[in-house]
Chains A and B, each alone.
Chain A
Amino acid sequence: MRLPNCLTALALLAVVPMSALAQAPAPQAAPQLVRAAVLRVDTPELPPISRLELPPEDIGFAGARLAIDDNDTTGRFMGQDFEAVEVAATPDTAASELDRLLGEGIRFVVLLADDATTVALADQAGDRALVFNAAARGDALRGEQCRANVIHTAPSHAMLADGLAQFLMWKRWPRWFLVHGSHPEDLALAEAYRRAATKFGAQIVEEREFTDTGGARSTDSGHVQVQAQLPVFTQRAPDYDIMITADEHGVFAGYMPYHTWDARLVAGSAGLVPRSWHPALEAWGATQFQNRFERLANRPMREEDYQSWLALRMVGEAATQTKSADPVQLRDFMLSPDFQVAGFKGQKLTLRDWDHQLRQPILLTTGLLTASVSPQDEYLHQTSPLDTLGIDRPETACTF
């Protein structure tokens, strides 16, 4: 149990009559303890284009704290106690920090790191821990580089691209102008959009690369440069319905809306953005979930928070259902077909056994709202509509 919980308990003591307190059916034996760690590997990055998107200090950690609170509340009735050690590392210290956590006997590690680091740390953990990938979105991680000891709560590039593609096809906007950045992650995301276009019958009528030369930001006169350069960059494109941007490092996409040569909408990394979570979602009981998080963290919930919350809620749900704290039993149950977890997205979330990706709806978000949620009703699937998003069983390159 985290320290702030003790404060909550004290506050409760103040108002709860003894009769009510006495009920807390604390089992006689010491509670079963389920330990986990959240390891965040921070790589130095330029600040985001918009200062509204500055990453908070506790990004990812705050979601984990909420999950531990939720698990502990249930744990009071089950005789179970949950804790998660929070570690912020650099690419240089990540390996030694992981070793230290494993040395302390921690068997569940939530990782917030880039793709390459995620694979390296998963290999380092080996059969000593179950790793939850709560940040990296590359399809290779779920494909040729997949690892049996990794569960992905972050959606993949393919899931995000497919979620957006379904909506665009529903809108009858099949002609796409794809602009991608020059970083490896941008190229991987662009590939996911090409795949989505083929899968759902869209056409990429033009493709351009926006090279990251470290150029203008909106400070000082940067916006003048943007206003002059982006129309030029986007002119003379064949007729298109919508521009798709693939910009994982936030270099240019944020500037794109209203700066295209043609009067066209922008989607992908800006405009209509596919996400695992959005702080304006209200449906499916999300309001109280957002309230709980905002009260705990004093800020809106980010995707990283949702994904680390999901990871630790999976552990908590497994402990509740199996009535066990044994890491092997919890892992086996999470990977079994009987496992499901609720995630405020209107349906149960389950694991794909072929690549350990958590199935989940994808929110299509504008700045302030959730505009739509995919899968769109029109796309059917023999197993689960959620499997219309991302890499399906027959296509997987993953072998454990």
Chain B
Amino acid sequence: MRHAFAILLLTTIATPALANKVYVSNEKGNDVTVIDGDTLEVLGSYPVGNRPRGITISPDGKELYVCASDDNLVRVFDPETMQELHTLPSGPDPELFVLHPSGNPLYIANEDDNLVTVVDTKTHKVLAEIPVGVEPEGMGVSPDGRVVINTSETTNMAHFIDTESFEITANVLVDSRPRFAQFSDDGSRLFVSSEIGGTVSVIDPATQEITKKITFEIPGVLPEAIQPVGVRVTADGKKIFVALGPANRVAVVDGDSLEVTDYILVGQRVWQLGFTPDQKHLYTTNGNSNDVTVIDVATNTAVKSIPVGQQPWGVVVAPN
């Protein structure tokens, strides 16, 4: 036993800290599964409070944030030890959040309360509560940090929030149940997925106009089962990945034509997506098959399925 422990310690020391560790929140399991991004092996799972959903990590990799929805707060962990450092007030039922590119503040969607709560990650104080539409969920931030987007699932809008004044500057009606908002890295495009509408709206952030609606069609899959949720865009803007929920596939969209070029079969009910820092791999959370799929970004292929906890919801990969 003692011997084994010594070997384990050695390995820990030999690998650089945080090298591509992958953190997956398990909504029903009340824990986070940690995966080694190099070996694709599970390192362990750690309790993180009740109904963990949204999960993100600070730019310096020192703080892991988890929306503990049923605890009505955000729990902050040391990503290396998975020990809880402190909690942040989040407002009721935090579902999903986004960090300002600088690492502070944190913008949190309060699903049960029709609010976006802004929390200072250093002082742990609530800076503002912004009333939005019914069932706020999706949260996106512009690369320059000046605009935060919230999507409200029953109001069916993307709300543009000014990060200086905390005021809503525009509301864009999109299709039913908008779940996720993601800017391209150059800030020129905003992608908003609509789960029931079955589309991804491409919005010009400058004019707040919808310039295109991406639609999906998969032979042998009922249109009703195609429910876009998570969206990620490669740094060069060439590929957009869209998780399609119970269609059990991730769509690959060409950044130039905005047409679907590929569908990648993954696990069941795929919701959220997370890139590794080098964008070699993309991780998907498959809520009904209790696993994550590792996608090779260059070849659009599924490399491996890794069993995690109960009903995996969100995923984030530690920065380099």
Chain A residues proximal to chain B, CB less than 8 Å: 12, 15-17, 19-20, 22-25, 70, 73-74, 76-77, 285, 288, 291-292, 295, 320-321, 340-342, 346-348, 377, 384-385
Whether A22 lies near B155 (C-beta < 8 A) is no
Which residue in chain B gives the minimum CB-CB distance to A76? B131
Q: A292-B112, A342-B176 are in contact. Are A77 and B166 (CB under 8 A)?
A: no
A23 interface neighbour in B112, B167, B173, B196, Cβ under 8 Å: B167
Q: A288-B135, A320-B156 are in contact. Are A23 and B224 (CB under 8 A)?
A: no
Whether B197 lies near A348 (C-beta < 8 A) is yes
Whether B134 lies near A73 (C-beta < 8 A) is yes
Give A389 Cβ to nearest chain B Cβ, in Å: 13
Whether A19 lies near B128 (C-beta < 8 A) is yes
Cross-chain pairs A/B with CB under 8 angstroms, 9 sampled: A12-B129, A15-B129, A16-B128, A70-B154, A74-B156, A342-B196, A346-B224, A346-B227, A348-B224
B157 interface neighbour in A24, A77, A288, Cβ under 8 Å: A77
Whether A19 lies near B167 (C-beta < 8 A) is yes
Chain B, 102-142, CB within 8 A of any chain A CB: 111-112, 114, 127-131, 133-135
Q: A77-B157, A288-B135 are in contact. Are A19 and B112 (CB under 8 A)?
A: no
Whether B133 lies near A73 (C-beta < 8 A) is yes
Whether B154 lies near A342 (C-beta < 8 A) is yes
Interface size class for chain B? 20 to 34
Whether A16 lies near B129 (C-beta < 8 A) is yes
B167 interface neighbour in A15, A22, A76, Cβ under 8 Å: A22
Asked if B234 is an interface residue, CB under 8 A from chain A, the answer is no
Which residue in chain A gives the minimum CB-CB distance to B170? A25
Whether B93 lies near A291 (C-beta < 8 A) is yes
Known: A20-B167, A288-B135. 12 other contacts (CB 8 A): A12-B129, A19-B166, A19-B167, A20-B166, A73-B114, A74-B134, A77-B157, A285-B153, A295-B112, A320-B156, A342-B154, A377-B222
Residues of A close to B177: CB separation below 8 A: 285, 342
Residues of A close to B114: CB separation below 8 A: 73
Whether A23 lies near B165 (C-beta < 8 A) is yes
Asked if B306 is an interface residue, CB under 8 A from chain A, the answer is no
Whether B111 lies near A288 (C-beta < 8 A) is yes
Give B40 Cβ to nearest chain A Cβ, in Å: 30
A16 CA / B112 CA spacing, docked (Å): 17
Residues of B close to A73: CB separation below 8 A: 114, 131, 133-134, 155
Chain B, 155-199, CB within 8 A of any chain A CB: 155-157, 159, 165-168, 171, 173, 176-177, 196-197
Residues of B close to A377: CB separation below 8 A: 222
Chain A proximity mask over B42-58: 1 for CB below 8 Å, otherwise 0? 00000000000000000
Whether A24 lies near B222 (C-beta < 8 A) is no
Q: A73-B155, A77-B171, A385-B222 are in contact. Are A285 and B135 (CB under 8 A)?
A: yes
Residues of B close to A320: CB separation below 8 A: 155-156, 173
B130 interface neighbour in A20, A76, A321, A341, Cβ under 8 Å: A20
Whether B112 lies near A291 (C-beta < 8 A) is yes
A346 CA / B196 CA spacing, docked (Å): 7
Whether B157 lies near A20 (C-beta < 8 A) is no
Q: A17-B128, A25-B168, A347-B196 are in contact. Are A340 and B111 (CB under 8 A)?
A: no
Q: A73-B114, A292-B112 are in contact. Are A20 and B128 (CB under 8 A)?
A: yes
Residues of A close to B224: CB separation below 8 A: 346-348, 384-385
Residues of A close to B173: CB separation below 8 A: 320-321
The 7 A-B residue pairs with the shortest CB-CB distance in the complex, in nearest-first order? A23-B167, A74-B155, A347-B224, A20-B128, A342-B176, A342-B196, A77-B171
Chain A proximity mask over B226-247: 1 for CB below 8 Å, otherwise 0? 0100000000000000000010
A74 CA / B166 CA spacing, docked (Å): 19
Residues of B close to A15: CB separation below 8 A: 129
Residues of B close to A340: CB separation below 8 A: 176, 196-197
A17 CA / B166 CA spacing, docked (Å): 10
A74 CA / B153 CA spacing, docked (Å): 11
Give B306 Cβ to nearest chain A Cβ, in Å: 24
Which residue in chain B gives the minimum CB-CB distance to A282? B28
Residues of B close to A12: CB separation below 8 A: 129, 131
Whether A77 lies near B155 (C-beta < 8 A) is yes
A377 CA / B224 CA spacing, docked (Å): 11
A74 CA / B131 CA spacing, docked (Å): 11
Which residue in chain B gives the minimum CB-CB distance to A343? B196
A25 CA / B167 CA spacing, docked (Å): 9
Which residue in chain B gives the minimum CB-CB distance to A74? B155
Residues of A close to B128: CB separation below 8 A: 16-17, 19-20
Give B154 Cβ to nearest chain A Cβ, in Å: 6
Which residue in chain A gives the minimum CB-CB distance to B91? A15
Give A292 Cβ to nearest chain B Cβ, in Å: 6
